[in-house]
C-alpha cells in the first residue's frame, strides 16, 4: 500500500508539470514554426485566414487554461469537515480514497473530504466533484479541440516543410518508428523527430480528453459518479437527464 501511494503522489506531482510543459511547447511551435511556415503572409489575401487561425487557436488555448484554473480554484472539498477521518480496515474502496456517508469520500491524496467525489484528476492535482465538475468537462472539451487542431497544423507543417505525404492512411502508423530509425541513421533532424513525436502526443491527449468528456457527460446525465460506478452502485435518478445536466452546468446566465 505504501509503494502504491508513493507512486500516486509522484504521479500527482508529475502530471501537472507534464500538462504545462505540453502547453508551452504547443504555444511556441504554433507561433514560431506553424504560423510563419503555413501562413507566410506574403499574399494579402491570406491575412484574413491567418487572423482567423490565430483567433481560433487563442480561443481554444485560453479556454482550456481558464477551465483548468477554475477546476483547481473551486475544489470539491467539504468546508464543514476539517478532521481527517480514519479509514476502516474493511474499506472496499481503492487505496487513494474511501467512502464515508451521503456521497462523501475522503481522498488520501488531497487529504480532504470530497462532496460527491467522482475521481481524482492527476493533471489538476485535486479531486473532481460537484463544485468543479463543469469546469473539468469544459477543460476536457477545449483541451481535446486544441490538441486535435494542433495535430492538423502539425501535419500541414510536416507536409510543407519536409514534403511528408499523409495521403496513405498507414503513414501515420509508421511515421514515428520510421522517423526514429532515420534519426539514428542521420537522415532526419532532431527537430523533425520531435515534431513527429508531438503529433502522437497531441493525438493521445486529444483522444483521452474526448473520451473523458463523453464519459463524464454520460455519468452526469445519469446522475451518477465514477466512484459509484466503481463500487457497483446503480443510481436510479428520479430527475430527468436535463435536470441532472442543469445541476452541474447551471442554466443560461448562471
Please name which of 128, 112, 127, 118 lies closest in space to residue 78, comparing C-alpha atoms. 112
Q: Which residues are catalytic?
A: 121
Q: What is the DSSP string of 191-224?
A: HHHHHHHHHHHHHHHHHHHHHHHHHHHHHHHHT-
Mean predicted confidence (pLDDT) in 126-144: 92
pLDDT at residue 23 is higher than 90: yes
Q: Is 17 helix (H, G, I), strand (E, B) or coil?
A: helix
What confidence score (pLDDT) does residue 156 get? 93
Give the confidence band of 198 by pLDDT, cuts at 50, 70, 90. Answer: very high
Question: Helix, strand, or coil here: 93?
Answer: coil
State the pLDDT at residue 94.
Answer: 53
Residue 121 has pLDDT above 60, yes or no: yes
Ranges 75-79, 145-149, 192-196, 230-234: which has the least confidence: 230-234
* 119: region left, alpha or beta (phi > 0 left; psi from -120 to 50 alpha): beta
Q: Which residues of 58-79 are buried (b: 16+ CB within 10 A; e: fewer)?
A: eebbebbbebbebbbeebbbbe
Mind giving me the DSSP string for 23-83?
HHHHHHHIIIIIHHHH----SGGGHHHHHHHHHHHHHHHHHHHHHHHHHHHS--B-TT--S
- Which residues have CB under 8 Å from 193's CB, separation 6+? 179, 180, 183
Cell readout for 115 is 462532496
Query: Does the structure show a pLDDT above 60 at 92?
Result: no
Residues 206, 151 contacting (CB under 8 angstroms): yes
Q: Which range, 22-26, 86-90, 171-175, 227-231, is most confident?
A: 22-26
Confidence of residue 242 (pLDDT cuts 50, 70, 90): confident
Residue with cell 446522475: 223
pLDDT, mean of residues 65-75: 91
Question: In degrees to the nearest 10, what's the CA dihedral of 36, 40, 41, 42?
Answer: 150
Tell me the mean pLDDT in the region 127-131.
86
What pTM was estimated for this model as a whole? 0.86
Distance CA 178, CA 96 (A): 40
Pick the most confident of 42-51, 231-240, 241-250: 241-250
What confidence score (pLDDT) does residue 51 get? 86
The answer to whether 119 and 181 are in contact (CB under 8 A) is: no
**Between residues 253 and 109, which one has the greater pLDDT?**
109
Question: Where residue 171 falls among pLDDT bands split at 50, 70, 90?
Answer: confident
- Tell me: pLDDT of 86 over 60: no
Q: What's the rounded mean pLDDT across residues 167-195?
A: 91
Amino acid at each position: 500500500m505504501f509503494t502504491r501511494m508513493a507512486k500516486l503522489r509522484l504521479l500527482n506531482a508529475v502530471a501537472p508539470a507534464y500538462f504545462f510543459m505540453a502547453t508551452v511547447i504547443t504555444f511556441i511551435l504554433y507561433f514560431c514554426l506553424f504560423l510563419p511556415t503555413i501562413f507566410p503572409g506574403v499574399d494579402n489575401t491570406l491575412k484574413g485566414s491567418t487572423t482567423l487561425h490565430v483567433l481560433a487557436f487563442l480561443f481554444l488555448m485560453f479556454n482550456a487554461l481558464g477551465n483548468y484554473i477554475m477546476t483547481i480554484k473551486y475544489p470539491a472539498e467539504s468546508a464543514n469537515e476539517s478532521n481527517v477521518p480514519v479509514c476502516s480496515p474493511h474499506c472496499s474502496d481503492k487505496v487513494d480514497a474511501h467512502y464515508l456517508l451521503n456521497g462523501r469520500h475522503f481522498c488520501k491524496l488531497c487529504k480532504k473530504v470530497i462532496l460527491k467525489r467522482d475521481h481524482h484528476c492527476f493533471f489538476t492535482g485535486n479531486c473532481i466533484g460537484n463544485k468543479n465538475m463543469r469546469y473539468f468537462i469544459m477543460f476536457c472539451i477545449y483541451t481535446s479541440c486544441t490538441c486535435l487542431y494542433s495535430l492538423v497544423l502539425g501535419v500541414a507543417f510536416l507536409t510543407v516543410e519536409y514534403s511528408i505525404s499523409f495521403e496513405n492512411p498507414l503513414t501515420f502508423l509508421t511515421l514515428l518508428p520510421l522517423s526514429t530509425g532515420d534519426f539514428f541513421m542521420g537522415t532526419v533532424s532532431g527537430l523533425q523527430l520531435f515534431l513527429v513525436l508531438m503529433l502522437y502526443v497531441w493525438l493521445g491527449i486529444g483522444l483521452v480528453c474526448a473520451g473523458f468528456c463523453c464519459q463524464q457527460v454520460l455519468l452526469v446525465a445519469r446522475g451518477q459518479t465514477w466512484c459509484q460506478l466503481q463500487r457497483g452502485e446503480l443510481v436510479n435518478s428520479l430527475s430527468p437527464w436535463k435536470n441532472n445536466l442543469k445541476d452541474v452546468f447551471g442554466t443560461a446566465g448562471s
